[in-house]
Amino acid sequence: MAETCEHLEGLRLADYPAPRTPEGCEECLAEGTRWVALRECLACGHVGCCDSSPGTHATKHYHQAGHPVMRSVMPGDAWSWCYVHELTGRLA
């Protein structure tokens, strides 16, 4: 059985806010910088860039806001990540 945590159990995309900036990373758009891939905070809808991007804004958002779970917003992806427990989950 796959490892999971209370933050990832029963995740359903319909239960979470829409991305605040679906066109890209909120901070990169404001700074005029580029990103590699995008992640959305499932607590507030913040869209940040991944850890492979120079800004690492999704992880910075977690450290600043304390929101535990993000999801990939890249086409074809259906996975989420719990920063607290460092576990990957799937969205229903």
Place of tokens 């719990």: 82
Residue in the block written with tokens 């700074």: 31
Q: Where are the domains of the chain?
A: 13-90
Predicted pLDDT of residue 37: 97
Using pLDDT thresholds of 50, 70 and 90, give the confidence band for residue 2.
low
Q: For the chain, what's the residue count?
A: 92
pLDDT for position 73: 93
Average pLDDT, the chain: 93
Residue 55 phi/psi, 5-degree rounding, is: -80, -25
Please give the Cα distance from 26 to 31 (Å, whole number). Answer: 9
Contacts of 83 (CB under 8 A, 6+ apart): 59, 62, 68, 69, 70
Q: What is the pLDDT of residues 18-39, one digit of tens each?
A: 999 999 999 999 999 999 999 9
Architecture of domain 13-90: 2-Layer Sandwich (3.30)
The two three-digit tokens of residue 2, written as one number? 């796959």
Whether 70 and 80 have beta carbons less than 8 Å apart is answered as yes
Q: What is the mean pLDDT of residues 1-12?
A: 79
In the DSSP assignment, the letter for residue 18 is P
